[in-house]
Amino acid sequence: MRKLGLLLAAMGVVSGFAYATPKLEVTGINQKLEYEHTNSNDKSDVKLYTTVNMKYDDWAFAIQGGKFWKYGTGNAVGVKKGLSSDNGRLQLEVWKSVNLSHLKLLCNF
């Protein structure tokens, strides 16, 4: 009987920790499309960004992926006509709140 009581108590402690642990939550998903054209230029820049914001306990995370394209008219020498892939980016940001009123720790990778 004593072993059963210890077992039940241990299960209660473990289940208490299981429900008390924080979980990873998605707080927002954003997309941004940028189109930049200069009148004197034969190329345009097209950029698409997708950002996912998350939180875990008092930590905040943001993962951003971006894809970049060039759009050329084909009128200038060396400029391809149409849309061509230019570059990409993947960025991870992490914030940790501290007890000071307006101070946060930021780390970029």
Closest by CA position to 72, among listed 90, 98, 102, 46:
46
Q: Is residue 39 part of a domain?
A: yes
Selected residue with higher pLDDT from 6 and 26: 26
Q: Is residue 8 part of a domain?
A: no
Q: Is residue 13 part of a domain?
A: no
Q: Is residue 35 part of a domain?
A: yes
Residue 42 phi, psi (nearest 5):
-95, 5
Q: Is residue 18 part of a domain?
A: no
pLDDT of residue 86: 85
pLDDT of residue 30: 94
Question: pLDDT tens, 8-52?
Answer: 666 665 555 556 678 889 999 999 999 888 776 777 888 999 999
Burial class of 10 by CB neighbour count within 10 A (0 to 12, 13 to 18, 19+): exposed
Q: Is residue 97 part of a domain?
A: yes
What is the residue range of 78's domain? 24-108
Q: Is residue 16 part of a domain?
A: no
Whole-prediction pTM = 0.62
Please tell me the total count of domains within the chain.
1
